[in-house]
Amino acid sequence: MSTTRMKLVMVGNGMAGVRTIEELLKIAPDLYDITVFGAEPHPNYNRILLSPVLAGEQTLDEIILNPLSWYDEHGIRLHLGKTVTEIDRVRRQVVAADGTTAAYDRLLIATGSNPFILPIPGKDLAGVIGYRDITDTQTMIDAATRYQHAVVIGGGLLGLEAANGLMRRGMQVTVVHLNDWLMERQLDDQAGALLRQSLQDRGLRFRMGAQTEALIGDADGRVMAVRFRGGEEIPADLVVMAAGIRPNTALAERAGLHCHRGVVVTDTLQTVTDPRIYAVGECAAHRGIAYGLVAPLFEQGKVCANHLAQFGIGRYLGSQTSTKLKVTGIDLFSAGDFMGGPGTEEIVMSDPFAGVYKKLVIKEDRLVGACLYGDTVDGSWYFKLLREGRRIADIRDKLMFGESSLGDVGHEGHHKAAAMADSDEVCGCNGVTKGAVCKAIKEKGLFTLEEVRKHTKASASCGSCTGLVEQLLMFTAGGDYSATPKKKAICGCTEHSHQEVRDAIVDHHLVSMADLFRHLDWKTPNGCATCRPALNYYLISTWPKEAVDDPQSRLINERSHANIQKDGTYSVIPRMWGGETSADELRRIADAVDKYRIPTVKVTGGQRIDLLGVKKEDLVSVWKDIGMPSGHAYAKALRTVKTCVGSEWCRMGTQDSTQMGKDLERAMWRMYAPHKVKFAVSGCPRNCAEAGIKDVGIIGVDSGWEMVIAGNGGIKTEVAQFFTKLKTADEVLEYTGAFMQLYRKEGWYLERTVHYVARVGLDHVKRRILEDHEGRKALWAELQFALDGEPDPWFEFSKAQVDLRQFEALSPPAPAAGAQTAPSLPVRVNV
C-alpha cells in the first residue's frame, strides 16, 4: 500500500498550509505520504494570536494549533527548522539548506510572507526586527524587560497591535507613520483620527507624516535612535518594522514559477506554470490578490485539498474581507470600499465627543463599504448586506441606525450577540449557551459555522440561531476570521448556495435528484438530511408535474403525512376550511378519538383540531374514519387560513371574512412552499384574526380589502408590511396566489416569507406583483397549474406516492419450536 502512495511535500508549516493538509486528511487520508518543511522550529501555531501573546493576554503554548503528536498520528514526516532552498522541477524534489531532500509527486508551496524591511541605513542593527513570527514576538517581550524606548514604524493593523503590546509590557512607544492618519487601508481620515486620539489617551505617542531616514546604532551595534528626514532624532532601543508584508516568493521564483505580487495561481490553487505545484496562503496571488487574512486562506486550503484529493471539483473565487483591530477596548470595523468616491453616496454619522463615527458607502442602491468606529455592533449586519449585494432602497432611511431599527428582524439573531450574557442560551434546541460557543471558538480555534456546529451542536438542529452563531464567531474570533466567502453553501455536501442550485435547476432543466447530484458535482453520494429536503422541494416547485418527487428526501412528517411527536406517536390535524366545521365532522372526529384511544384533543392556534398521540399503525384508519381532507399541518405548505366571523355574524364586520378565508384555503391548500405558510382574514380593522402577523394577512375595510405580507408570529414576532389595497375577492385570490408563487420560486428552503422579502426587498415583490400586471396573472396561473390535480395524501395514496408499508411493522416468525426449518416470510404489506 505505502509503496504505491503518491508523495506530497509541503514547504511552509503555517496556518494556510497545515489547514490544507487537515482538509486533505479529512477527505483522502490515505492518498499521500506527506512531508512538511518548516523554517521555524515550532509546530503549526495560530499566527493571528501573536498580538494577544505580545500583550500578555495569552501564552505561546495556548496558540499552538497542531502539536507534534498530531503530525505523528497522521504519519506526516516533519522537518522543523529547515529552510527549503531549491525546487528541482525536473527531478521533482526539494532541497533544504542543510542538504535534506524530499521527492514529490505534488508540491504545495505555503511559504507565507515576510515583513517589509525599509531599505534605510541601520536596518541591520541589533534590536531592529519585523513582526511576523514567534521569534519576533519573543524578542519584543525580552526587550520590554530591559529597555525603555520602542519605535514602531508603520501605523497599520500590525504596527498598532505591536505598539499596543509593547506599551502593555511597560515600554514607551512611538508609532511612526508616513500617512496622515492611521490604518489608511482600513479607515478613512475621520475614523483614523478617532483611533489615534484613543490610543494617545492610553499613552502611545505618534509621529504622523514622518519619514524615517536612518537608524542610529550605539558602540555595540544596537539601535539607539531613529532619525527622521529633517534631522530630528528620537531615542529607540527597539525598532519594529511593520510597514507591510511581501509574499515570500523567493523560492518559487528561483524555481521558475511565474510570480507577480505572489505565486500566481488559478482558481484551483495550482500554479500557472506547473500544475503539479500548488500554492496557498499569503505567498499566493489569486486573480491579482494576495490575501493577508486567515479566512480566505482557509477557503483556499479547502479547494486546494479537494484538488489534491483528485476530486477535481470546487473553485476558489476570491473573498470579501473585513477588518477588526485586536486591541482590547477599541472597536473598529471596516469592509469593502469604505472610502467611497465618484459614483458613490455616503451616509455619515459623526459624534467625536462620544468617540463614535460611522460611514456607509452606497453605490447603485447597494451597500459597498462600511467604516465604523466606537460602535461596531452592526458591523456583521453591514458586512452581510455587502456580501449579499442586497438592494437597500427600502431600508435606506434606517440603515445607519442598524438592524435593530428595522424592528423585527426575525430569528436570524443579528445585533443580539454582543449584548448577550455568557449564560444566555444561543441554541434552544441543544441548550448551548453563548459562553459555551465562545469558549469552543477560542480554545479549539474554530473558524467556520460548520466547525462550531460540529463541536458545540449550536445551530445544528433547527438552524434558527445560525445568524446568531455566525455573529458570535465574528465577535469572538476577531476580524481576521470574519472574512467569509461571498456565498454560503447549502450544507457540507456541496460548495453551491441555495440560489445556485435553484438557478441550475431552471437553467439546465434538472428534474431528478440524481440529475442534480451529477450536474452539480455533489460531494456525497446521496446528500444528507439537510440538503435533500431542500433539493427535493426545489425540483418539484420548479418543474411541477415533471420533476420526480423523492419521498425518501422528505422529512418524516411529510413522508407519513402527520406530525411526529416526542414519543414517536403522531398527531393528526384535519382540514377545516377557514376554521369552520360542522356537527357531522365533529361527530366523526369524536368517534375516531374513542375508537383509536387518542389521548389528547386540542384546538391549535390556527383554529384547527389536533388529535395527539395517534400510533403510526393507526394513521391510515384514522384518516379514513374522519373522512376530512389533509390539514397539511405537518408540511412546508399552506397550514391554515385563520378567520374571524366577519359580516356574516359580527356587528362590526364589513366583509365576509370567513368566506374569503375558505376561498383562499380551497384555492391553495395543497401548495408546498419553502416553509410553512399561514394566512388570516379579518372582516374589519379590529383584526380579530390577527392578520398582521401572518405570511399573508387580508383585512376587510369598507371599500374592499387591505393586503399585508411577510408577517410571522413564530420564533420572533414580525409585523407584516402593508402591501396593497384591493377591491374584490377575486383580486385577493389573484394577488395572494401570485405572491405565493413568487415566494415558491425564489424563496430558499426553510426561509419564511419575512426573511425572503427582507432578502429580495419589498420593492422587488411590489414590482413583480403590483406593477407587472401580466407577470402577476402569469404567476397566479403557474400556481394554479402546479396545484391542479395535486393529490390528497389521505385519500389518494398511490398518486401521492405514500408508501403504505411504512405504517405496518414487520413481524418476525414466532420462535421456532426447536426446528431449523426455513422460516416463512411475513405477508407483504400493501404497497
Contact residues for another protein, defined by CB under 8 A: 429-430, 453-457, 460-461, 524-529, 532-533, 551-553, 555-556, 559-560, 564-569, 599-600, 612-613, 803, 805-806, 809-813, 815-816, 822-823, 825-826, 828-829
Q: Which residue's CB is nearer to another protein, number 219 or number 822?
A: 822
85, 88, 93, 98: CA torsion to nearest 10: -30
Spatial distance between the Cα atoms of 350 and 467, rounded to a whole number of angstroms: 28
Q: Which residue's CB is nearer to another protein, number 465 or number 696?
A: 465
Residue 238: its H or E element: strand 238-241
Q: Which residue's CB is nearer to another protein, number 565 or number 717?
A: 565
114, 120, 123, 125: CA torsion to nearest 10: 180
Q: Which residue's CB is nearer to another protein, number 202 or number 602?
A: 602
Name the amino acid, one letter, at 458.
A
Q: Which residue's CB is nearer to another protein, number 343 or number 815?
A: 815
Output the CA–CA distances (angstroms, integers) from residue 700 to 137, 605, 680, in the order listed.
71, 21, 11
**Bridging pattern class, strands 366-373 and 563-564:** unpaired
Residue 613: its H or E element: strand 609-614
Spatial distance between the Cα atoms of 175 and 536, rounded to a whole number of angstroms: 59
**Bridging pattern class, strands 284-286 and 263-265:** parallel
Q: Which residue's CB is nearer to another protein, number 238 or number 501?
A: 501
Least distance from another protein to the Cβ atom of residue 533, Å: 7
Q: Which residue's CB is nearer to another protein, number 400 or number 612?
A: 612
Burial status of residue 145 (CB atoms within 10 A of its CB: 0-12, 13-18, 19 or more): exposed
Cell of 523: 460531494
| Residue 322 contacts residue 483 (beta carbons within 8 Å) | yes
Radius of gyration (C-alpha) of the chain in whole angstroms: 32
Q: Which residues pair with 681 in a beta bridge?
A: 643, 698
Q: Which residue's CB is nearer to another protein, number 350 or number 530?
A: 530
Residue in 171, 137, 162 with CA at minimum distance from that of residue 59: 137
Least distance from another protein to the Cβ atom of residue 745, Å: 25
Q: Which residue's CB is nearer to another protein, number 425 or number 803?
A: 803
Least distance from another protein to the Cβ atom of residue 802, Å: 12
Spatial distance between the Cα atoms of 6 and 281, rounded to a whole number of angstroms: 23
At a CB cut-off of 8 Å and minimum separation 6, what does 696 contact? 677, 679, 680, 707, 708, 709, 720, 736, 739, 740, 753
| Residue 45 contacts residue 291 (beta carbons within 8 Å) | no
Spatial distance between the Cα atoms of 160 and 51, rounded to a whole number of angstroms: 10
Q: Which residue's CB is nearer to another protein, number 452 or number 740?
A: 452
Q: Where are the alpha helices (H) located in 596-668, listed in sequence order?
A: 619-626, 657-668
Least distance from another protein to the Cβ atom of residue 217, Å: 56
Least distance from another protein to the Cβ atom of residue 610, Å: 12
At a CB cut-off of 8 Å and minimum separation 6, what does 319 contact? 291, 293, 295, 296, 299, 483, 484, 485, 486
Q: Which residue's CB is nearer to another protein, number 626 or number 802?
A: 802
Q: Which residue's CB is nearer to another protein, number 329 or number 525?
A: 525
Coil vs helix vs strand at 783: helix
Least distance from another protein to the Cβ atom of residue 593, Å: 13
Least distance from another protein to the Cβ atom of residue 526, Å: 5
Q: Which residue's CB is nearer to another protein, number 13 or number 494?
A: 494
222 phi and psi angles, rounded to 5 deg: -105, 145
Spatial distance between the Cα atoms of 412 and 715, rounded to a whole number of angstroms: 10
Least distance from another protein to the Cβ atom of residue 820, Å: 9
Spatial distance between the Cα atoms of 692 and 710, rounded to a whole number of angstroms: 9
Least distance from another protein to the Cβ atom of residue 70, Å: 17
Residue in 471, 472, 198, 459 with CA at minimum distance from that of residue 328: 198
Least distance from another protein to the Cβ atom of residue 800, Å: 15
Least distance from another protein to the Cβ atom of residue 547, Å: 18
Least distance from another protein to the Cβ atom of residue 527, Å: 6
Least distance from another protein to the Cβ atom of residue 786, Å: 24
